[in-house]
Structure 1
Amino acid sequence: MNKNVKIPIIFLVLLTIGSTLIYFGSRNDAVTVAKSIKSGVLTADEINVAFQNVGGKVLTRAVQESQYVKKGDVLMVLEDTDTRLAIERLKAVIAGQEASIRQEELAIKIAENETNLAEEATWRNIEAVQANLDAAISARDFTQTEYERHIQLRKAGGVSQSQLDSTRNTYISAKMSVVQLQSQLSTLMVGATSEQLAQFAKTKNATGMTLQSIINARQTIQNRHNQLTQLHAQLSQSQAELEQLQINYQRLTLVAPEDGKVLKLMYEDGELVPTGAPAVLLETDRKYVDIYVNESMVNDYQPGTTVTANVVALDKQIKGKVRFATVAPSFADLRMTRERGQADLTSFQVRIYMDNIPHLLTGMTIEVNDAKHH
């Protein structure tokens, strides 16, 4: 046979045999393996533990890398000098504010008692002035009568001019007394209504009469109540600031939020930690594995479904629970342009959280067999 014909024929035969073996043989590509065994690498949730709203110099590192910690264990402590002094200063401010409030409350109580007493005294004083006014009016009327009689007697020569002058002076003095008492009474009754004045004219009893001086005094007391409210508000603000400082003081001690293994400590003793910066990387006990299934199998892996898997390194069975099943990224889809010309198949990512068993470490291979799935 011609050599130029023989070589292409040999290559064609070999290509045909190879293609047949590939088509019917077992392949270890990801798509083929995923049809029989769903496997993945065990992964653990990691959390960055940070000092919340506080920062400062590292005073103590209570743990080391790879150390297993329990929830609440101390991880790192910051220097507390500044925060402790701020707390002491604020406590002193609060003590002063509380003393000011007690002083103002006592002063208001005294002012209220004095105002009530002044009101009662003013009512009685009005009644006394009214009585004096009545007496003064009577005395004025009497001296007026005497003065008019002396005028007639003087005309008749019955009294001397000096006696007439004396009587006139007494009359004028009595009139002035009436005017003074009327003015004093009007001043005392400023603020009273016309109904109250009419009632007082009948009864001569001033109890219950509205007095402008008492109104002014009570308005002053009300203003002091407003000042007292402001003092209470300032005290509440200081107490809230103290509570925040005390919380920040507690936050200077960083504790583990849950059980896990310390992967990394970000700061050494004496280093400054910025506010809110992560300080410890913690690997939690929440371990999971992600597997990929096609759309015809995804209904078997609904959230909450319990599955059984094999830990290859430990050769042990382990149970897990499906957390979610969601559409996988496009790179995991099987396209018809790939081998065998299959139709497009969308892959779904299934996350399974596994039960914790001794010696189970992240990075181990977990196989979820369809036969073990229930």
Structure 2
Amino acid sequence: MARPPRWQATLDASTQEACLAVRLYNDSAEARAFEGFVVHMHMAWLYLLHAQFIRDDVDFRYWDKQFKKRLVKIDGEAKRWELERSMAERWPSNTDPVRANLSLFIKLRNRLEHRHANSDEALMLNLAGHAHALLVNYETELTEQFGDTQSLALRLRLPIFVGTFTQQGEQALREYRKKLPGDIRAFVTDYEIGLDESVVNDPKYEFRLRAMVELAPRDPDAIAMQFTNYEDMTDEERAFAEELGRRGQVIVRDRKQPVSGLGRLMPANAVNEVQANIPYVFNMSHFTDSWKKAKIRPLSGDTNPSKTNQDFCEYDEPTKTYRYTRAWVQRLIKKCSTPDGFREMTGRDPSIKPIAESAS
């Protein structure tokens, strides 16, 4: 029998870590399932990239900066690139959605270890889409680099679960998400504000799954759960899926929580901040048009005033008013700084500020 390639042991360690990560994630009896998933997926990605480096004869050891021919060693072993350094080698562009997703979990791991022990379920609910993308990206990298025979699909089973199939269940999950620690909410929002919108909306950064009960006749050749790639849909199927999203017909939808701890802004303050940071006139009328166009909150008089996009707006029950997040203000500033973006956000043509106002 031929000897296995040099990288096989490292790749095997990688897939073992990934399988363990998924088992922990799907184990409802595991007290710190999400933390375990993050830690073991970190190791899975590290070993996967190291296996590629071994295969491609990339030297991923650290060398002493002062003595060029001397390796940096820890306990007698050569120090090798950590995941962040390995990631930068594999994806040089920091706008790559795979890198953005992986970088989020690298930073998140540093925050999770020995902290937030009682908020594991809340973390899982808020970051499930990002975690799913982390695993899907891993599977893609694994099979593209080492072939379909290495696929996790040959090792993992589809989990059986109860999602938000009732209004009561959906409401229970929404309430549970509020238990996510404020610093983690702020961390995720801060991180995503720095990303391009195309990256944030890419399924390689956050995977969004819509589940529907199939009412078609049973196909003996089909598996119980099937996935359809957006790129493989017809125009009619895409339009239907997007319409479902606009109507909010979501069974499972895991997203980040509001910008807690970063401060809220009343409309006048939000308008002033946007006006001060763009070259165009921006007033309360523009602000109102923007939230109406983006549908981040209900219209005045709506019977369900709290039904907001919590990333951008929150309803304050005691004062019966809406308060806006820094993320919404930053989005307005970013978009409304260009003519096309201004029109996209407000539906109006921009007007250059008067010279005196611009100078001030």
The structure having more radius of gyration, on CA atoms, is 1
The bucket for the TM-score relative to the shorter chain is under 0.3
Q: Which has the higher contact order (CA 8 A, sep 6+)?
A: 1
Structure in which a larger fraction of residues adopt strand: 1
* TM-score when normalising by structure 1: 0.15
- TM-score, normalised by the number of residues in structure 2: 0.15
